[in-house]
Amino acid sequence: MLSIEKNTKFIKDTAKNLGFDYCGISKAGFLENEAKHLEKWLNNQYQGEMKYMENHFDKRLNPTLLVDDAKSVVSLLFNYFPNQQPINPENLDDYKISKYAYGNDYHEVIKKKLKQFLSIIQENIGEVNGRAFVDSAPVMDKAWAKKSGLGWQGKHTNLINRKIGSFFFIAELIIDLPLIADGKVGDFCGTCTKCIDACPTDAIIAPYQLDASKCISYFTIELKKEIPENTKGSFENWIFGCDICQDVCPWNRFSSPHQTPEFLPSPTLMNISNQDWREITEEVFKVMFKNSPIKRTKLEGIKRNIEYVEKQKKNKN
Q: Is 135 one of the catalytic residues? A: yes
Cα-based distances in Å from 238 to 97, 178, 311? 6, 44, 13
In angstroms, the CA 218 to CA 201 distance is 11
Residue at 302: amino acid letter: I
Residue at 173: amino acid letter: L
In angstroms, the CA 171 to CA 175 distance is 13
Cα-based distances in Å from 140 to 40, 47, 75, 113, 172? 15, 14, 11, 20, 10
In angstroms, the CA 143 to CA 75 distance is 10
**Active-site residue (options: 13, 94, 135, 187):** 135
Q: Which residues are catalytic?
A: 135
